[in-house]
Amino acid sequence: MTDAYNEGDALIRYLNELQPLKKEITDLGKKATFKIAMRKNEILANASHICEDCLFFIVKGLVRAFIFDEGRDITARFINEHHLMGTIRNHGTVIPTYQEHYQALEESELLILPYRFIDDMYEQFPETNILARKLLAIHYHLSQERSVLSRIPSAEIRYKQFKTGYSTINSRVPLKFLASYLGMRVETLSRIRKKEKLQAKA
C-alpha cells in the first residue's frame, strides 16, 4: 500500500464532474483515501483486511466481480478505469445473499474510500448528499442494464449488446470470463465471434 498522492485527483475529477465540490471536501478526500496495487489475475478475496467498510475507485486497470454458487465461479460484472466498485450498503439487509470477490484482469491501481469518511461528509457538507444520489442513479442504471442483458434469450444478441454497451473493455476481457458473464459456454461465445469475423470479411 502507498499514499494516494496525485492518484486521488482522478477520483476528485470524476466526482466534480457529477457535482462541484468545495476544496475543503476534496482536500479531506485526498487525505482519507489510500491506494493499493493489484497484479494481473490477483484475487482480492476478502477486502475486509484492507478496509472493513469501504468503496474502491479504479484509477487504472480492469477488475471483475464474481461470486461462488455451488462451487461455480460466476462473473457478475466488470469495472474499469474511473468507476467505483464495492458493495452498496443496504441497511435493510444485514447479510448479502452472495459475497462478491474481485479479480484484477490487468495490472490495476485502486483507491480505497472508507465509508466512515463518506458518512462524515454527508453530515458536514449537505451537497455531498446530492452527489450520493447521482452516484446511486448511475449504479442503478448499470444494474438495470445488466439485468436486461441477462434476460435476452439469444446468446448472439447478448454478446452484440455487450459489445455495444461495453465497447471500451470488450477486447480486454478474457474469453472464459466474458462467457461466464454472458451466461453461455466458452464454445458458444467462440462460435459467435468466429461467425462475426466471417461476416465482417464477406
Q: Tell me the CB-side half-sphere exposure of residue 114, using CA atoms within 13 A.
A: 15
CA distances from 149 to 9, 73, 137, 162 (A): 33, 19, 18, 8
Which regions in the chain score pLDDT beneath 70? 1-8, 45-52, 88-96
CA distances from 32 to 96, 113, 117, 182, 185 (A): 26, 7, 7, 37, 43
Domains in the chain, CATH or no CATH each: 2-128 (2.60.120.10)
* pLDDT for position 3: 42
For the chain, how far is it from start to end, CA to CA, in angstroms? Answer: 51
* pLDDT for position 94: 57
pTM: 0.85
* pLDDT for position 199: 87
pLDDT, one tens digit per residue, over 96-149 is 677 888 999 999 999 998 888 999 999 999 989 999 999 989 989 989 999 999
Contact (Cβ atoms closer than 8 angstroms) between residue 155 and residue 182? yes
- Residues paired with 57 in a beta bridge: 84, 111
DSSP 89: P
* pLDDT for position 169: 93
